[in-house]
Amino acid sequence: MYKIAVIGGPDTVIGFKALGLDTFPVREADEAHKIFKDLTKPDRPDQYAIIYLEEALAEPLKADIDRFKDVPSPAVILIPGKDGSLGLGQSGLQAAVERAVGVNIL
């Protein structure tokens, strides 16, 4: 059975925990990097289909995230943190749509 994970600051992930998702509260990008690497191991017995990642942590993990942009699972989705959006999630969605459709329709 596939699972859903959320990696972000404690204030960001708390609401997702209430929904029953696996949450991984972190304070620094290094922590997020270690957790992301662990969650995306191909030999994990419990595979994650979706990994939500707080935008503020995404830049240091860009190379790791890019490995999954053209594969169906896990889908790595950037979400805004408690301080609001940085625009990274929207730009990532726009790039994915351009790759799929061939033109920017957003």
> Does a structural domain hold residue 91?
yes
Q: Which residue spans within 1-106 are E strands per DSSP? A: 3-8, 22-25, 48-54, 75-79
pTM exceeding the 0.85 threshold for the entire prediction: no
Give 30-63 pLDDT, tens digit per residue.
999 999 999 999 888 889 999 999 998 988 899 9
Place of tokens 């790791």: 64
> Does a structural domain hold residue 80?
yes
CATH number, domain with residue 44: 3.40.50.10580
> Does a structural domain hold residue 106?
no
> Does a structural domain hold residue 83?
yes
Cβ within 8 Å of residue 83, ≥6 positions away? 56
Q: Which domain holds residue 34?
A: 3-101
65 close to 76: Cβ distance less than 8 angstroms? yes
Give 59-95 pLDDT, tens digit per residue.
889 999 999 888 888 989 888 877 755 555 455 555 5
> Does a structural domain hold residue 56?
yes
> 3-8 and 48-54: which strand pairing?
parallel
